[in-house]
Chains A and B, each alone.
Chain A
Amino acid sequence: MEHTKHIWRAAILLIVVLTGVVAVRHFMVPSSFGEMGYYRGDALYEFMDKAPEHGSQAACAECHDDIAGEKAAGAHAQVQCEVCHGTLTSHIRDDDKFADMAIDRSWRLCAHCHRRLVARPEGMPQIDPAEHLELAPGEAIPEEACLDCHDTIHNP
């Protein structure tokens, strides 16, 4: 065939461009990409390596076994300590206490679960605070109203 130079030029240009693309991808695509699927494999392991914030009731019982024992015998046995007191990591760092646990004595904490709501299942113990405390209409609910009577809250 005559006049083949233009085909060669096009072919060489194409090869050079493709080579450029491959070379650029070599530097831009992270090395773990494709390891587990169409994503950066390191990302999956970065998620795995994070440290948990919550412990468990067993972790609390390691130091607070008296409270744990009291709690396990009562109606709040299934309620995690951390639900009311916050995460383990807000209290313990490197196996050592660095701050006190939050102790919320407000009636609002109890109300999260125990305030009467139409949508709550019947079997759940629930009260209307104004009725339960026999408050006058418009009277405010005292801040630590629940603990005034229910003082052994770990084993109510």
Chain B
Amino acid sequence: MSKQKPDAGMKRRDFLKTATQGAAGMALVMIWGDLSLVSASTVTVATSGREGYAYDPTKHRFIYLIDVAKCIGCGSCVRACERENQVPRHFFRTWIERYQISRTGRTWIDSPDGARNGFEPTVLGADITKAFFVPKLCNHCTNTPCVQLCPVGASFISPDGVVLVDEKRCIGCSYCVQACPYGSRFIHPDTHTASKCTLCYHRVTKGLDTACVQNCPTEARKLGDVKVLGDEVAEIIATKEVHVLKPELHTEPNCYYSGLSREVR
């Protein structure tokens, strides 16, 4: 007579099955129950800055004004920016373009090494009737082409309107470099990440001017804050004739120009 084996196998299998199901169920409940994990994808629109910092980004909104008539093309701003931000040689966070226009409307535009060492006289073989300098930098657009197409969310707009690049997240794909219609961005040769004018964020958040604004000898560049009552630059933009670069692209730059002639690209 064969002995009936006890139902040990079935019991063990049952036990394991139940145990695994129970463990999996518990894990699911724990993971999904912790709403902070699930809501990691929800992004808050900041209503105040981080605690412990005197500066609150939500209480400021920066704008920039360039007076073309005052610019003498000395390049002090380019050098100051280079020193302040360790900008690599032959790359520019800001630069100056010189426009020389003849009576017939023929235009010569140059920017020797970004005007880092100013300009030299040129012999153009034509009667130049109109000539001026146009300093340029990142326009910190409200409707940026560059932020929306960053594939990894490295490029962003701060609550105070400054377009910045998170170097730690940037993968150097240079989509944003191609997207910027003003040519403000470049890929840093050492970090291989996108780099551009940061509006000297480390300075403006301490109540200082940007390096370019401070070092301009003729006050051609000015920094303003629309959220500050009585701000001089905000007043000029609100009351006087100002222009922006490439308005047809609807990027809504926050960098305004007074005295911009039609030849400026």
Which A residues have a C-beta under 8 Å from some C-beta of B? Answer: 15-16, 19, 22-23, 25-26, 29, 33-41, 43-45, 47-54, 56, 78-80, 82-83, 86-87, 90, 108, 111-113, 115-121, 124, 128
Instruction: Mark out the residues of chain B between 21 and 79 whose CB falls within 8 Å of any chain A CB in the assembled complex.
Output: 24, 27-28, 31-32, 37-38, 40-46, 49-50, 53, 55, 57, 69-70, 72-76, 79
Tell me if A47 and B159 are in contact (CB < 8 A): no
Tell me if B43 and A38 are in contact (CB < 8 A): yes
Tell me if A121 and B46 are in contact (CB < 8 A): no
Number of contact residues on B: which range applies?
35 or more
Tell me if A54 and B211 are in contact (CB < 8 A): yes
Which B residues have a C-beta under 8 Å from some C-beta of A? Answer: 24, 27-28, 31-32, 37-38, 40-46, 49-50, 53, 55, 57, 69-70, 72-76, 79-80, 83-85, 98-100, 117-121, 128, 131-133, 153-154, 156-159, 164, 166-169, 198, 200-203, 205-206, 208, 211, 214-215, 217-219
**A-B pairs with the 8 shortest C-beta distances?**
A39-B156, A50-B202, A119-B131, A43-B166, A112-B118, A36-B46, A34-B43, A47-B201
| Least Cβ–Cβ distance between A55 and chain B, in angstroms | 10
Q: List 19 A-B contacts (CB under 8 A).
A: A22-B31, A22-B37, A26-B40, A33-B153, A35-B50, A37-B43, A37-B159, A38-B43, A40-B166, A43-B167, A45-B50, A47-B198, A47-B205, A48-B55, A48-B201, A52-B208, A83-B76, A112-B75, A119-B98
| Least Cβ–Cβ distance between A127 and chain B, in angstroms | 12
Tell me if A54 and B84 are in contact (CB < 8 A): yes
A81's nearest neighbour on chain B, judged by CB, is: B215
Tell me if B76 and A44 are in contact (CB < 8 A): no
Contacts A40-B168, A47-B201, A48-B55: A35 and B46 contacting too (C-beta < 8 A)? yes
Contacts A25-B40, A48-B202, A51-B202: A83 and B50 contacting too (C-beta < 8 A)? no
Contacts A80-B215, A80-B217: A118 and B40 contacting too (C-beta < 8 A)? no
Q: For the complex, what is the distance from the CA of A53 to the CA of B27, rounded to whole Å?
A: 52
Tell me if B73 and A119 are in contact (CB < 8 A): yes
Inter-chain contacts of A124 with B (CB < 8 A): 72, 218
Tell me if B40 and A29 are in contact (CB < 8 A): yes
Inter-chain contacts of A16 with B (CB < 8 A): 24
Q: For the complex, what is the distance from the CA of A97 to the CA of B44, rounded to whole Å?
A: 46
A41's nearest neighbour on chain B, judged by CB, is: B50
Known: A33-B43, A78-B219. 15 other contacts (CB 8 A): A25-B40, A26-B40, A39-B154, A43-B166, A48-B205, A50-B202, A51-B202, A78-B218, A80-B217, A83-B80, A83-B217, A111-B118, A113-B76, A115-B121, A118-B131
Inter-chain contacts of A117 with B (CB < 8 A): 73, 98, 119, 121, 131
Contacts A52-B208, A79-B217: A113 and B74 contacting too (C-beta < 8 A)? yes
Selected from A23, A35, A47, the residue in CB contact (under 8 A) with B44 is A35
| Least Cβ–Cβ distance between B86 and chain A, in angstroms | 8
Tell me if B73 and A87 are in contact (CB < 8 A): no
Q: For the complex, what is the distance from the CA of A41 to the CA of B168, rounded to whole Å?
A: 12
Q: For the complex, what is the distance from the CA of A56 to the CA of B215, rounded to whole Å?
A: 9
Tell me if A121 and B40 are in contact (CB < 8 A): no
Tell me if A119 and B205 are in contact (CB < 8 A): no
Inter-chain contacts of A115 with B (CB < 8 A): 118, 120-121
| Least Cβ–Cβ distance between B182 and chain A, in angstroms | 21
Tell me if A54 and B46 are in contact (CB < 8 A): no
Q: Interface centre among B32, B69, B217, B219, by most A CB within 10 Å? A: B217
A52's nearest neighbour on chain B, judged by CB, is: B203
Contacts A22-B31, A118-B121, A119-B99: A53 and B84 contacting too (C-beta < 8 A)? yes
Contacts A23-B31, A52-B203, A113-B217: A120 and B72 contacting too (C-beta < 8 A)? yes
Q: For the complex, what is the distance from the CA of A136 to the CA of B201, rounded to whole Å?
A: 50
Inter-chain contacts of A83 with B (CB < 8 A): 76, 79-80, 215, 217
Contacts A29-B40, A53-B211, A115-B118: A43 and B132 contacting too (C-beta < 8 A)? no
